Structure 1
Amino acid sequence: MCDKRLCSCRKKSAAMAVDPATLEKLEEGYDLLSTSNSPSLLKKYLTREIFDQLKKRKTSYGSTLLHVIQSGLKNLDSGVGIYAPDPEAYTLFAELFDPIIEDYHGGFTSKDIHPLPDWGSPADMGNLDPSGEYVISTRVRTGRSLADFPFNPSMTESQYEEIQTQVVEAFGKLEGELKGQYYPLTGMQKDVQKKLIDDHFLFKEGDRFLQAAEACKYWPTGRGIYLNDAKTFLVWCNEEDHLRIISMQEGGDLGEVYERLVRAVTSLERKLTFSRNERIGYLNFCPTNLGNAVRASVHAKLPKLSANLKKFEEIAGMYNLQVRGTRGEHEEGEGGVFDISNKRRMGLTEYEALIEMRNGVLEMIRLEKES
């Protein structure tokens, strides 16, 4: 989706009326947030002036400021606190999104332009841990949204089904190692669902941040998972984003994992049109997942570095890496094993994001060996 269309939508949408009940909820929510000790970027950047500028705006999809901030209002412990209910929201509510994007993505300002896609040479990545002493597994994923569809809070039940129909057709064209099977959540056998969840392949309903953001509407309609035969490649359909495309395997061979993802995305792009903004890159539900939308991560055991978690996170920050528990963003590490990934996704290409992650993890392993 191009900037020109978003700009025209902004002019048209700003005049659409926001109903009194929504305005009342917004005022109540803002009062609660402004007097809280929330650490969120929403609290940091939603000033009274910005709030008053945005509270009466509505996109052509019918999305309001309440859709944008409702998760952060209900979860005051959020780190970010906002989501985009549709692609237009990034432009219509730019006064809030832009500073949060700049803060999270390490200085990507409202005047910057995200570079065009460039996957580079996956072979350059190599194996992060040939000895297998530190890296347990490696994963590279990216998010994609189909053009001309809103995101979760603004989607209808039929749109969930339509997206699923389109992507399943595209999955049917995947070949070779990528060939596999799609499992829709609707009608899925309980034992199959339990095994997929237990094996850490399938997402599950219940994340309170997504629930509050209305990302679980019409569950399980239109949701499912595509899994290749080797279980090294999978795609989530309509979980948080329209698509989460994931390549993974045991060990530290980042080059092999990355190459598989590049091949998969390239194949899917032949059948599907993804939503992309000329300035901020690929558009997805959460502003942390814009730009190249690539998250490359390892599960690594670094007991000496992680013994002092605060110091561990400081080291990660020096290399633009994010450290979190192996069970998710808001969890602690188990047994000294942590998920380490690139944090920045804007202002650098896919290849540059992978190199940043690669160099940071290699340095962490070096420091662990010397500790």
Structure 2
Amino acid sequence: MAFPRFPSDCHSLLCKYLTPELYKRLKDKKSRYGFTLEHLIRSGVANPDSSIGVYVGDEESYDLFAPLLYPIIREYHGVDLHAPHRSDMDPVHLDIDNPDPQGRFILSTRIRVGRNLHCFPLGPAIAQRERLIVECLAVDALKTLKGDLAGAYYPLSGMDEKTKQRLIEDHFLFKEGDRFLEAAGLNRDWPEGRGIFHNEEKTFLAWINEEDQFRIISMQKGGDIQMVFERLSRAVRSLQQRLTFAYSDRLGYITSCPTNLGTAMRSSVHIRLPELGRDRKTFESIAKKFHLQIRGIHGEHSESEGGVYDISNRRRLGVTEVEAVKEMAKGVKALIEEETRRGA
């Protein structure tokens, strides 16, 4: 493989940091799972409109390709990688009030974390047999959950139409990844080894072998962020009694996309802000102050519908889970105050 030719309008972090000299230095390196520089940058080369451009195949590759990955991680997260990452998922340390107790603005709250098993390759490098083993380990662990977390697992492979339609209506069903994930190798052997777990109340959910091996999700209608976080914390704590998740003192929880390192957490609300939505400058100014990300209701690259937006934390590395959720809650409160000031 020769040094890739990027178009002149490429603005990804891969384009910014991959020089011919660095390429020559890294091109022959290979992890114990056979992951190479070519695999690492494949998605960003195929999709020069990527914002990042790299997907990592295993824990070792974060060290092996550190000369390329660490500058990307530093710029995206804005952190000093010499400091250790701290994790804190203790709900007692969160202790926040509902920012919308009357339910006028927040439609729903959702907090998820990504996790991958230690000593297994990540999605871009995992073999079919290994993915099936991950699924088996995940199902065994999920079946031990008790009380309000207890539920059932639905494998995507061989799923009957009735179950499929119900999961679509519940907005639980995940599909093959987009062109960025496809180029990274994350869609291989679809849908084998993938599945969905959810509890009876439909407030706890786990996606198995999507972008990461685990997407562990707590959600409910309204703005009780404390309750959603507490449920997620209990679930993760229970799963950690049976599973060992990949973790680095410097990078936090290991994920296939470097943007999710650290807490690997996305804490979000669907919130109705029609007045503020008409003033994008002010909207984005508040979001920037509290390190928030603004999306449409159907996720990244989607548009708002009916003045409803998906607002989430942007910072994941260099902050604890509690700090990330507190920051999101403060930002949401500020957005509500501005919307109210405008007569909403």
Give the counterpart letter for 2:102 in structure 1. S
What CA distance in whole angstroms lies between the structure 2 residues aligned with 1:314 and 1:159? 45
What CA distance in whole angstroms lies between the structure 2 residues aligned with 1:181 and 1:143? 20
Deviations along 1:203-237, whole A, 9 cap, x unmatched?
Answer: 11141111111101111111000010000000000
Report the Cα offset of residue 48 of structure 1.
2.6
Q: Which residue of 2 aligns with 1:90?
A: 62
Q: Which moved more, 1:205-214 or 1:130-139?
A: 205-214
Q: Which residue of 1 aligns with 2:15?
A: 43
Task: Please list, as runs of the form range in 1=range in 2, the aligned pairs for 1:174-253 lying within 5 A after superposition.
Answer: 174-253=145-224
Report the Cα offset of residue 318 of structure 1.
1.6
Matched, 1:53 2:6: no
Give the one of 111, 118, 126 matched to 2:82: 111
- Tell me if the contact between 1:122 and 1:258 (Cα under 8 Å) persists in the aligned partners: no
What CA distance in whole angstroms lies between the structure 1 residues aligned with 2:87 and 2:308? 35
Report the Cα offset of residue 188 of structure 1.
0.4
Q: Which residue of 1 aligns with 2:274?
A: 303
What CA distance in whole angstroms lies between the structure 1 residues aligned with 2:177 and 2:263? 27
Give the counterpart letter for 1:91 in structure 2. D
Secondary structure, aligned partner of 1:153: coil
Report the Cα offset of residue 113 of structure 1.
1.6
What CA distance in whole angstroms lies between the structure 2 residues aligned with 1:192 and 1:52? 50
Deviations along 1:151-196, whole A, 9 cap, x unmatched?
Answer: 1121111111100100111011100000000000111012321331
Secondary structure, aligned partner of 1:241: coil
Q: Which residue of 1 aligns with 2:105?
A: 134
Calculate the aligned-residue CA RMSD, in Å. 1.5
Q: Which residue of 2 aligns with 1:157?
A: 128
The sequence identity of aligned pairs, in percent, is 50
Give the counterpart letter for 2:166 in structure 1. K
What CA distance in whole angstroms lies between the structure 2 residues aligned with 1:177 and 1:305? 37
Secondary structure, aligned partner of 1:152: coil
Q: Per the alignment, do residues 311 and 52 of structure 1 end up closer, same or farther by CA in structure 2, a change over 3 Å counting?
A: farther
Matched, 1:265 2:208: no
Matched, 1:347 2:318: yes
Report the Cα offset of residue 339 of structure 1.
0.7
**Aligned residue pairs, count:** 342
Q: Which residue of 2 aligns with 1:313?
A: 284
Secondary structure, aligned partner of 1:146: coil
What CA distance in whole angstroms lies between the structure 2 residues aligned with 1:330 and 1:48? 31
Secondary structure, aligned partner of 1:274: coil
Matched, 1:282 2:253: yes
Q: Which residue of 1 aligns with 2:307?
A: 336
Secondary structure, aligned partner of 2:124: helix
What CA distance in whole angstroms lies between the structure 1 residues aligned with 2:210 and 2:49? 22
Q: Which residue of 2 aligns with 1:8?
A: none
Q: Which residue of 2 aligns with 1:63?
A: 35
With the length of structure 2 as denominator, give the TM-score of the two structures: 0.95
Give the counterpart letter for 1:307 in structure 2. R
Report the Cα offset of residue 249 of structure 1.
0.5
Give the counterpart letter for 1:239 in structure 2. E
Deviations along 1:222-261, whole A, 9 cap, x unmatched?
Answer: 1000010000000000000010000001111101111100
Deviations along 1:92-140, whole A, 9 cap, x unmatched?
Answer: 11112111111111x2123222114443426612212111111110000
What CA distance in whole angstroms lies between the structure 1 residues aligned with 2:89 and 2:232? 13
With the length of structure 1 as denominator, give the TM-score of the two structures: 0.89
Q: Which residue of 2 aligns with 1:15?
A: none
- Tell me if the contact between 2:55 and 2:124 (Cα under 8 Å) persists in the aligned partners: no
Deviations along 1:256-305, whole A, 9 cap, x unmatched?
Answer: 11110000000000011101012111101111111111110001111122
Task: Please list, as runs of the form range in 1=range in 2, the aligned pairs for 1:161-172 lying within 5 A after superposition.
Answer: 161-172=132-143
What CA distance in whole angstroms lies between the structure 2 residues aligned with 1:46 and 1:123? 40
Uncovered stretches (5+) of structure 2, i.e. residues with no partner: none
Give the counterpart letter for 1:366 in structure 2. E
- Tell me if the contact between 1:125 and 1:255 (Cα under 8 Å) persists in the aligned partners: yes
Give the counterpart letter for 1:337 in structure 2. V
Q: Per the alignment, do residues 240 and 304 of structure 1 end up closer, same or farther by CA in structure 2, a change over 3 Å counting?
A: same
What CA distance in whole angstroms lies between the structure 1 residues aligned with 2:61 and 2:180? 19
